Amino acid sequence: MHIYFCRPKSETSYDAPMSSPALDPALNNAQWFATTHWSVVLAARDGDSPAASEALNDLCRAYWPPLYAFIRRQGHDAAEAQDLTQEFFARLLERDYLARLDQQRGKFRSFLLAFVKHFLSEQREKAGAQKRGGGQTLLSLDVGEGEEGYLSEPVDELTPEQIFERRWVQTLLQRAFDRLAAEYVDNAALFEGLKDFQPRQPGSLTYAQIGERLGTTEATVKSAMQRLRQRHREILREEIAQTVTSAKEVEEEIRHMREVLNR
């Protein structure tokens, strides 16, 4: 399967090949993994630095959609899922769960899934003892967007774990897309013309037609599309590298993403 680059969306079809027979040499450099999501988590666990706390706060804002979807699929309504998501991150931000980490290991994705399961088990045991979230909003979350993404998933076809995985992949793809768009802010017309391009799809424009719209040649559009896809692959690998601890795990996560999207 090839994953192609295009605008991320819940019903996923992506238009920029992500497959690669060999690991990107840049990922063999340990410096890639010097500052990752794990290092943010560990820094927040080991000290009271305001910078570390803010970095963890930002991380929670970025990766809440998969957790919200997982909680929703466990049978909670939208309001309950919002409160539970807030409460889960409150536990992280208050270092309740972070104190249980002995060392940096595994994948950030697996860490979040394991701890949200533990959190929900705790909540079931003390259900009704206290209002979830304490009525306090700690993080500003676009719950409407999270609910829309959740409702777009197949009804009764995915387990809570599977829907978590799908939303995780979509979150990574969206982060990569947003970074790519930011890099093309000075060439927005070109980006707008190419971002949804899917060759060989029924009704899709040709390179020549796109070139005519942009006032340039077919060859120029082809070259620009190649650079765009290459840069998207690089950014996506960088985003994945942030969630793991080694180059080998980057390749494992890419294979996992393909499996999730093929499901």
Tens of pLDDT, residues 236-255: 999 998 888 888 889 999 99
What per-residue confidence (pLDDT) applies to 96? 62
13 falls within a domain:
no
**Cα separation values, 67 from 62, 146, 186, 223, 256, Å:** 11, 10, 35, 39, 18
Amino acid at 99: A
Kindly tell me if the per-residue pLDDT of 195 is higher than 60: yes
Task: Report the percent of the chain where pLDDT is more than 70.
Answer: 70
Task: Report the percent of the chain where pLDDT is more than 90.
Answer: 34
Q: How far apart are CA 94 and CA 179, in angstroms?
A: 29
| Residue 216 belongs to domain spanning | 25-132+142-262
Of the two residues 215 and 24, the one the predictor is more confident about is 215
Kindly tell me if the per-residue pLDDT of 22 is higher than 60: no
HSE-CB at 212 with a 13 A cutoff on CA atoms is 5
Highest mean pLDDT among 105-119, 139-153, 163-177, 191-205: 163-177
What per-residue confidence (pLDDT) applies to 151? 60
Amino acid at 22: A
16 falls within a domain:
no
What per-residue confidence (pLDDT) applies to 14? 41
Kindly tell me if the per-residue pLDDT of 104 is higher than 80: no
**Residue 54 — very low, low, confident or very high, per pLDDT cuts 50/70/90?**
confident
**Number of independent structural domains in the chain:** 1
What per-residue confidence (pLDDT) applies to 235? 94
pLDDT, average across residues 38-44: 78
195 falls within a domain:
yes
What per-residue confidence (pLDDT) applies to 23? 37
What per-residue confidence (pLDDT) applies to 86? 87
Using the Cα atoms of residue 110, residue 116, residue 117 and residue 118 in order, give the sign of their dihedral.
Answer: positive
Residues 6+ apart with CB under 8 A from 34: none
Kindly tell me if the per-residue pLDDT of 67 is higher than 60: yes
74 falls within a domain:
yes
43 falls within a domain:
yes
HSE-CB at 145 with a 13 A cutoff on CA atoms is 13
Q: How far apart are CA 227 and CA 225, in angstroms?
A: 5
148 falls within a domain:
yes
17 falls within a domain:
no
**CB count in 10 Å sphere of residue 228:** 20
165 falls within a domain:
yes
Instruction: Kindly give the residue spans of alpha helices, DSSP state H, lying in 47-126.
Output: 50-62, 64-73, 78-93, 108-125
Of the two residues 31 and 20, the one the predictor is more confident about is 31
Q: How far apart are CA 123 and CA 152, in angstroms?
A: 27
Kindly tell me if the per-residue pLDDT of 3 is higher than 70: no
